Amino acid sequence: MNNRITTDLSGQTAIVTGAARGLGRHIAQSLAEAGAQVACVDINTESLADTVAAIRGAGGAAEPMACDVTDAGRVAEVVNEVVKRWGTLNILVNNAGITRDNVIVRMKDEQWDAVININLRGTFLFTRAVARPMMKNRRGRIINVASVSGLIGNPGQANYSASKAGVIGLTRTVARELASRNITVNAVAPGFIATDMTAALGEEIIQQVRKQIPLGRLGDPQDVADAVLFLASDAASFITGHVLTIDGGLTA
């Protein structure tokens, strides 16, 4: 893979959650290609090993970190391990997320809880854990992966939409709290991106979705990875508390 924007992240260390597959894998690979050392976090250790192998095979630096993002103790351990291993922590990408779709009258408690816990609690836990080392360094980039569902809602996704709206609120608040320490906090809000999760919708629904997107296509995972790369770079040093939609004009 080749990044379509150029930035130099040499000597910087990044954590990417949900790095085993999909958007997380593309984001981790893009950061590594730009020169960052990447701690790849996921609960799926087998697929996580594939991500790390791909990064190393391309000449990048990466380490697998098995972690349940809802486990506060393990999250703190991962952050401490990263700082101990590489001596610094510059970038956090909160990407880990799941869906458990159902209409509200049929949504089970466990469907609600699972999505809120991973998507929102996990983002909170990692953000809290990295804040102190970043404050000590007086520099940091936190990029949260939200969704257009958190902006406009989506039928059958009350839990997912609520979790991503929460991520957006968290982003804007923490951006204000950490700005004085030269730490920026932003979010990307992808629309329909061509991933395994989207493919599961089926071709008929995907065709209907394409008709709703002004650009007439699904996004590519690299579209999201490039946006994250920009927000992690010095070029975005005066941007914080922002939500960057990547949706082909869907919410325009």
Q: What is the CA radius of gyration of the chain?
A: 17
| Other Cβ atoms closer than 10 A to 244 | 18
The continuous run of DSSP H or E covering 65 comes out as strand 61-66
Alpha-carbon distances, residue 172 vs 70, 147, 189, 233, 249 (angstroms): 21, 15, 13, 19, 23
**Is 160 designated active site?**
yes
Q: Which of 160, 164, 171, 240 is catalytic?
A: 160
Phi, psi of 244 (to 5 degrees): -95, 110
H helices of the chain, where? 22-33, 45-57, 72-86, 109-115, 122-137, 149-152, 158-178, 196-199, 203-212, 221-232
* Distance separating alpha carbons of residues 55 and 40, to the nearest angstrom: 10
Q: Order of strands, edge to edge, in the sheet holding 140-145?
A: 61-66, 37-42, 13-17, 91-94, 140-145, 183-190, 243-246
Q: Which of 145, 171, 167 is nearest to 245 (CA)?
A: 145
* Distance separating alpha carbons of residues 243 and 3, to the nearest angstrom: 21
Largest CA distance in the chain: 51
Q: Is 16 exposed, middle or buried (0-12, 13-18, 19+ CB in 10 A)?
A: buried
Q: Which residues are catalytic?
A: 160
